[in-house]
A and B are shown apart, each in its own frame.
Chain A
Amino acid sequence: MNKTEKIKREPLFHIVNRGRDAIPWWKGMLIRAAAIVFALAVCAVIMVILTKENPIEIYKTMFDGAFGTERRKWKLLQEIAVLLCISLAVTPAFKMQFWNIGAEGQALVGGLATAACMFYIGGKVPQGMLIIIMVAASIVAGAIWALIPAVFKAVWNTNETLFTLMMNYIAIQLVDVFVNIWAKNGSAVLSPMSEYGLPIIGDKKYLLNVIIVAALTVGMYIYLKYSKQGYEISVVGQSEKTAKYIGISVKKVIIRTMLVSGAVCGIAGLILVGGTNHNINTNTVGGNGFTAIMVSWLAKFNPIFMILTAFMIVFLDLGASHVTAMFRISSDICDIMIGIILFFIIGCEFFINYKLKFRSFGKGGEAK
């Protein structure tokens, strides 16, 4: 070792786990807010370098893209509702440490069931009856799609991540098959069956969707936190051995929880097909099944926080696409921006869980 290096110095800083001494929630919020401000500042610099546009203008446009008009506001709410609905669906499974990444497929199958009802029995039964059948069919379809990997996991301990992922592709192909059967003249595009959709409240096309998801959010929060089944999910998720020790049937909980997870995905499909598009294609869920995983994790599986995380992601998405259109800049730049903002928001969790202790200057001094 080099002699000159041998000067006795403390390292510049240490990383200390806050552990038992967790910081108060408001400080955590402050750190998160600071992270967003930093992220916006960094984005601004990068934007100036890459596009030479005024970053303030870009942010304004972003805001405008999300909230600018009545229609945009409703669009924002609708997108949040769909994303939030699927996020709520994956949450009980995640809490149980069952990595359900098949929400995309489960929602798509729910949507397919809704579309099938509209196509085959639309107009043949009273509209009220049709809606009841549609709701039931979508829930059952989503639940079955989730039940299959759950049973395999519970009985043969198969890997649920691969299984649910593969179920997505089957769902997509199924939709493709049915669209080709249903579509007229081999156009492979289904025309909207708007007359058989879910009812519209007043003239607000998306209001019913928003109400359904709001009710689901509260319901899921209560289910996870205050119900006996929610408690069992937590126990199984944290320690299967403890669950067995107190007599919980782990198999039963896995299957039951995935049924709940799939059923809520099915409702998301119902909202998308019955309440919004009135038709279906392979891209109807549009990747929300995967984005939902992030929404759920970022909110630490708390349904109420999920409203915030879902809002944040949808806001960035809508805002960025508006910016792309208005400034005629590449959408890649907007993706970079979204990436930076998410990096800061996720990265700031580190500072909430750990603190940096800097070198104390002068012997005997205490670093705080």
Chain B
Amino acid sequence: MDKKIALELKGITKVFGKITANNNVDLDVYKGEILALLGENGSGKTTLMNMISGIYYPDSGQIFVDGEEVIISSPKDSFKYKIGMIHQHFKLVDVFSAAENIILGINDGKKYSIAETNARVLEITERYGFNIDPKKKIYEMSVSEKQTVEIIKVLYRGADILILDEPTAVLTPQETEKLFAVLRRMRDDGKAIIIITHKMHEVLSLTDRVAVLRKGEHIATVNTKETTVSELTEMMVGKKISLNIERSEPKNSCDRLVVSNLNCVSHEGVKILDNVSFTARSGEILGIAGIAGSGQRELLEAIAGLQHIDSGKILYHNPKNDEVVDLRDKTPLQIRDLGVRLSFVPEDRLGMGLVGDMDITDNMMLRSYRKGHSIFLDRKAPKNLAQEIIKSLEIVTPGTSTPVRRLSGGNIQKVLVGREIAAAPSVLMAAYPVRGLDINSSYTIYNLLTAQKERGVAVIFVGEDLDVLIELCDRILVIGSGKVTGIVDGRNAVKEEIGVLMTKTTSIDEENGGVAI
């Protein structure tokens, strides 16, 4: 293959205050190759890419495009050098069509012609095998379609170097495969592609070379064919870590939460939850698998009293007095007043679980501040709790009075999970608790969930990585289009079996009239 360097970085350093995000990083990417940028959270991947795309400016170091040194001080410059970045969070105008979004901001002196744009967009989609209607409005699109629009937007501007920041985080396995096929076609077309990812199997199946960053430093760049998962992991985390999750046998398991025939209809009249029935038992982890957006969030929020329920029952068996109460149509406060110890780690950490601008202490008391009859707050106990959690979960923070927004993703999650566990729950629900977290933080969370299970808590874990679900959970409930399509035993579950269940649209009840185990 013709090996020409498309982009080269030499000695890039970027410092934010006291934190060195990138230290003397060298990196190169050739035309016609896919390079993976691998690293834990906070290893400086995104910062590095942001410097290439003109969002940040390096403190020192040089950038070369096609062998010539360039200065990239704005996204406009980066576009000039044919560099395009596809961010994790899409930057699209909802009420515009795909084509309108694509030409937005292009000023090439030509007359604005939507017909011409549509034609060119179609040409690009055909060339790389995208599947999109240029006239479709963004608000009508799925996440994967929106991502496609972002990619086409970059290609339309003639980008030769594409950077994708964790593109598969929001995609289903099928959509991921489609994306990879497109990326491979682009590679064969001579484009240089950099993909930031956490997922090891993606690195191995897609890329040509892997560059590993650790704590802002470039550790090595290796050929994908000549490396292994354990070697990459070792480079990434600096020490060998066991990929095994400890799973103990459930002890004295009894029914804790019995959900029967739950139905929820959205504002638009769409059935989000369709006759969902299952039982969560004490001392076990019940996994919930499914394609993102199949009703997992609504299910947890329904149990937590945040989602309107149209019919069905949520029966809670109180371990203290053996009373059974129905949580349906209760507010979160009423649920707590009933003595139900329900903890919930929501998917949206800063938007729902925590208040970003408040410090760790104030976030600790979100659940407990009402305690006591005084009209004033007691900050002593939450402060002690904050200190305890910082210590026991090894949260990296300057102190208890740091706003949680300033912490890294993993540390934010530890604050949230730590608080929810500190409430000594009897039911613990966690939605995607390791999303965006590095391996070490992920395992901390897995261990915390397992420890809760051993304490006799009924743990409900919504996850996306099937390997983790199979290793961690005692039982796995599979949800597809709001229906329970199957419940499998975690100890002898097969990945393919779950994958099939995830895409099914008929529930187990509909098939055999049986009751969920």
Contacts and interface: CB of A to CB of B under 8 A. Distances in A.
Given A18-B17, A21-B16, A238-B357, A364 B60 contact: yes
A317 to B, nearest CB: 33
A246 B362 CA distance: 13
Contacts of B19: 20
B348 interface: yes
A221 to B, nearest CB: 13
Given A14-B73, A241-B352, A226 B358 contact: no
Contacts of B16: 19-21
A228 B59 contact: no
B369 A231 contact: yes
Contacts of B410: none
B495 interface: no
B493 to A, nearest CB: 32
B306 interface: yes
Contact of A241 (B59, B71, B351): B351
A241 B348 CA distance: 10
A199 B247 CA distance: 76
A228 B377 contact: yes
B362 A231 contact: yes
A70 interface: no
Interface stretch (A4-12, A181-189, A262-270, A325-333): A4-12
B369 A228 contact: yes
A283 B269 CA distance: 52
Contacts of A229: 375
A9 B70 CA distance: 9
A8 B69 contact: yes
A231 B358 CA distance: 10
Nearest to B379: A226
Contact of A242 (B73, B365, B366, B377): B366
B332 interface: yes
Nearest to B366: A246
Interface in B370-387: 370, 374-377
A366 B353 CA distance: 41
Contact of B355 (A227, A230, A242): A242
A260 interface: no
Interface in A235-261: 235, 238-239, 241-242, 244-247, 249
A114 interface: no
B456 interface: no
Contacts of A155: none
B115 to A, nearest CB: 30
Contacts of A238: 355-358
B353 A242 contact: yes
A246 B358 contact: no
B71 A9 contact: yes
A245 B353 contact: yes
Contacts of A360: 60
A242 B69 CA distance: 48
A125 interface: no
Given A231-B369, A238-B357, A238-B358, A245 B71 contact: no
Given A241-B348, A242-B353, A227 B332 contact: no
B17 A20 contact: yes
Interface string A122-155: 0000000000000000000000000000000000
Nearest to B336: A247
A367 interface: yes
A228 B355 contact: no
Interface string A95-139: 000000000000000000000000000000000000000000000
Interface string B45-60: 0000000000001011
Nearest to B61: A364
B367 interface: yes
A217 interface: no
Interface in B54-100: 57, 59-60, 69-71, 73
A244 B17 contact: no
* Best-surrounded residue of B57, B304, B354 (most CB of chain A within 10 A): B57
Given A239-B352, A247-B332, A20 B406 contact: yes
A87 to B, nearest CB: 22
A367 B15 CA distance: 11
A234 interface: yes
Contacts of B354: 242
Contacts of B73: 10-11, 14
Contacts of A14: 57, 73
A23 to B, nearest CB: 10
A238 B358 CA distance: 9
Interface string B317-338: 0000000000000011101100
B344 interface: yes
Contact of B352 (A11, A230, A242, A249): A242
Nearest to B402: A20
A19 B367 CA distance: 28
B486 interface: no
B346 interface: yes
Contacts of A20: 16-17, 19, 406
Contact of A245 (B306, B356, B375): B306
Contacts of A367: 59
B375 A227 contact: yes
A238 B403 CA distance: 13
Contacts of B365: 231
B391 interface: no
B355 A235 contact: yes
Given A18-B17, A229-B375, A238-B355, A244 B71 contact: no
Contacts of B267: none
A144 to B, nearest CB: 24
Interface in B436-485: none
B18 interface: yes
Contacts of A230: 377
Interface in A318-368: 357, 360, 364, 366-367
B355 A226 contact: no
Contact of B333 (A11, A235, A239, A247): A247
A10 B362 CA distance: 43
Given A241-B351, A245-B352, A367-B59, A10 B17 contact: no
A246 B332 contact: yes
Contacts of A234: 355, 358, 362
A21 B406 CA distance: 10
**3 nearest CB pairs, A to B:** A21-B17, A247-B333, A247-B332
18 contacts: A14-B57, A18-B17, A19-B17, A19-B406, A21-B17, A228-B369, A228-B370, A228-B376, A231-B362, A238-B357, A239-B356, A245-B332, A245-B346, A247-B332, A247-B333, A360-B60, A364-B60, A366-B59
Given A241-B348, A241-B352, A245-B352, 5 more contacts: A228-B370, A231-B369, A231-B377, A235-B366, A245-B353
Interface of B: 16-19, 57, 59-60, 69-71, 73, 304-306, 331-333, 335-336, 344, 346, 348, 350-358, 362, 365-367, 369-370, 374-377, 406
